[in-house]
């Protein structure tokens, strides 16, 4: 069974490498045209983040070297793609594209970050003890969220508002 999973993992790595390299034609066009035209950067930013997290997962979980290595390759490739987007995006859309892509990404990650202390709620309920619920982390998450929500309302910054 271990041998089979290794071979399936190798096949998965080959397919993943092909997936990471599949936009090369698009980026060759971007380089030749010296413009991102109507192409969107968000899929590449999300893939970069995903590859980063899967690389970390593969490093910390025993026996997941194949996951770590192929996603490490994904980090390299996606970093190149995102860099090319930043270089070749038209002047005005550079800022708008960056703000929209990063705003969506940051808002999504912050939703996960701020909801992560809730993961301990199952332990709190089953053990009937708050021993494993870090008070100061929860307290400062609450204060931080409230302060930045107020700031986001004042600034009318909806990306900041959504994340809180």
Are 141 and 150 in contact, with CB atoms under 8 Å apart? no
Q: Which has the higher per-residue pLDDT, 112 or 44? A: 44
Tens digits of residue pLDDT in 15-28: 999 999 999 999 99
Query: In the chain, what percentage of residues exceed pLDDT 70?
Result: 87
Are 117 and 133 in contact, with CB atoms under 8 Å apart? yes
Instruction: Say if residue 108's pLDDT is above 90.
Output: no
- How high is the pLDDT of residue 33? 95
CATH of 1-89, one of 3.30.479.30, 1.20.1280.290, 3.30.70.360, 3.30.70.3420: 1.20.1280.290
Query: In the chain, what percentage of residues exceed pLDDT 90?
Result: 31
Backbone angle region of 134, left / alpha / beta, with phi > 0 → left and psi within -120 to 50 → alpha: beta
Confidence of residue 101 (pLDDT cuts 50, 70, 90): confident
Whole-number Å distance between alpha carbons of 45 and 55: 15
Q: Which range has the top average pLDDT, 3-7, 14-18, 54-58, 109-113?
A: 14-18
- How high is the pLDDT of residue 16? 94
Q: Round the average pLDDT of the chain to a whole number and report it.
A: 83
List the single range of 9-18, 21-30, 114-123 with lowest mean pLDDT: 114-123
Instruction: Say if residue 129's pLDDT is above 90.
Output: no
Phi and psi dihedrals of 64, rounded to 5? Answer: -115, 35
Domain spans of the chain, in order of start: 1-89, 93-164
């Amino acid at each position: 069974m271990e041998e089979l999973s290794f071979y399936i993992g190798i096949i998965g790595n080959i397919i993943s490498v092909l997936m990471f390299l599949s936009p090369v034609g698009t980026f060759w066009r971007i380089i030749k045209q010296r413009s991102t035209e109507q192409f969107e950067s968000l899929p590449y930013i999300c893939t970069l983040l995903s590859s980063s997290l899967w690389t970390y997962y593969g490093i910390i979980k025993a026996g997941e070297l194949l996951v770590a290595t192929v996603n490490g390759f994904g980090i390299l490739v996606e970093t190149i793609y995102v860099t090319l987007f930043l270089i070749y995006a038209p002047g005005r859309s550079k800022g708008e594209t960056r703000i929209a892509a990063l705003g969506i990404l940051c808002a999504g990650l912050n939703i996960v970050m701020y909801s992560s202390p809730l993961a301990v709620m199952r332990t709190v309920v089953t053990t009937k003890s708050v021993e494993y619920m870090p008070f100061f982390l929860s307290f400062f998450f609450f204060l931080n969220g409230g302060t930045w929500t107020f700031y986001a309302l004042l600034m009318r910054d909806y990306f900041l508002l959504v994340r809180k």
